[in-house]
Each structure stands twice: as structure tokens, then as C-alpha cells.
């Protein structure tokens, strides 16, 4: 599922809805995505905070990201509710042997498809002349609202936290 299909699915959610993004450290197979979706459907329909049902949904986007959305205009989510979502992601980590908690696995668009690599490989990539520019699109998994997911999740490298975290060959071009 891509971002547009997901946001179309949750059209009735408030833009201030809270968002959590869990990125796998590798591209998931279609079978893995289907397995995740089958487990998340009943989880989402029964997800509650202190007995109050949450207006929530999920998507497995680009075979790489599990995204949860909770519209807190209906019911707030607290620590216990968030913990439940973390526990199911931990289960997927164990069952599928994929790390959803590695914050240094970097996802980006590589021509027309998405790639996911470790931070050292990413640092090497952005410092080569393999067609990488500051306009290349990266995923900003630090966002936390639906509005930010729609508008600031997929952004050019030059506008992302990645630019501050990774030194690039252009970082050393000093004007005198």
C-alpha cells in the first residue's frame, strides 16, 4: 500500500491524529505483509485505552513500514495503549526475524522503488557520484501526526533530519 491509498482509507481521521511509524530493516515479502495485516486487523478493532475503544487504523506501507493512527478526538490513548502496540511490533520482530526498532536503517527512494540500507552504506551512498542529490526523497519517520504523515513524511533529503545527521561531500564546500 502506498501513502495515498492509506490516507484515502483514513479520510475521516482528524489531521491531529497521532501517528507511530515502525520501519523494518529490510523490505518485507508480500506473504509477510499479509501475515502482519491478518494479525493487526483484530488488534486494531479491539484496541482500547482503559476500556474505551480507540478510533484507530493501520497500514503496511511500501512493504517496509507499519503505521498506526489514533484519532484522539474520539478517545485519548495513554501509555498502556501505546505499550500494546509496541508489544505486537515486538512479536513481529521475533516471528519474522526483522528489526522494527533499528532507527539507523535508512529508507529512501532509489529511482522508482524504495530501498532500505544501514547507516554506513547510506553515508557511503550520499557521498558518491551515483546520482545522489539533495533532492532525493527520504522518509522522515520522526513525524507524529496525520497531517505530518501526509505532508512531511516523504521529503527531499535537503529538508530532512538526515542532512544534519550525515555529513555529505557538499558539507565541506566552504565559501571564502
Give CA–CA dist 44/106, Å, rounded.
27
Give CA–CA dist 172/169, Å, rounded.
6
- Contacts (Cβ under 8 Å, ≥6 apart) of 96: 28, 32, 35, 36
Number of domains in the chain: 2
Residues 52 and 91 in one domain: yes
Domain end, chosen from 74, 96, 118, is at 96
Residues 87 and 141 in one domain: no
pLDDT, tens digit, for every residue of 80-129? 889 999 999 999 999 999 999 988 888 988 777 898 888 777 777 777 76
Contact 77, 48 (CB under 8 A): no
Phi–psi pair at 168, nearest 5 degrees: -115, 165
Residues 86 and 114 in one domain: no
Tell me the chain's radius of gyration from C-alpha atoms. Answer: 17
Supply the range of the domain harboring residue 111: 106-170
Residues 91 and 110 in one domain: no
pLDDT, tens digit, for every residue of 125-168? 777 766 677 788 889 999 999 999 999 999 988 887 665 556 55
Give CA–CA dist 147/13, Å, rounded.
10
Amino acid at each position: 500500500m502506498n501513502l495515498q491509498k492509506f490516507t484515502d482509507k483514513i479520510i475521516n481521521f482528524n489531521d491531529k491524529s497521532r501517528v507511530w511509524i515502525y520501519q523494518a530493516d529490510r523490505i518485507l515479502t508480500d506473504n509477510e505483509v499479509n501475515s502482519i495485516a491478518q494479525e493487526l486487523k483484530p488488534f486494531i478493532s479491539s484496541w482500547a485505552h482503559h476500556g474505551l475503544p480507540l478510533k484507530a487504523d493501520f497500514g503496511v506501507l511500501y512493504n517496509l513500514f507499519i503505521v498506526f493512527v489514533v484519532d484522539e478526538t474520539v478517545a485519548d490513548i495513554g501509555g498502556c495503549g501505546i505499550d500494546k502496540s509496541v508489544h505486537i511490533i515486538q512479536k513481529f520482530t521475533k516471528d519474522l526475524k526483522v528489526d522494527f526498532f533499528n532507527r539507523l536503517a535508512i529508507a529512501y527512494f532509489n529511482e522508482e522503488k524504495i530501498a532500505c540500507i544501514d547507516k554506513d552504506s547510506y553515508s557511503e551512498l550520499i557521498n558518491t557520484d551515483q546520482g545522489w542529490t539533495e533532492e532525493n526523497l527520504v522518509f522522515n519517520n520522526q513525524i507524529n501526526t496525520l497531517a505530518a504523515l501526509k505532508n512531511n513524511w516523504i521529503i527531499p533529503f535537503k529538508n530532512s533530519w538526515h542532512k544534519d545527521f550525515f555529513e555529505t561531500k557538499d558539507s565541506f564546500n566552504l565559501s571564502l
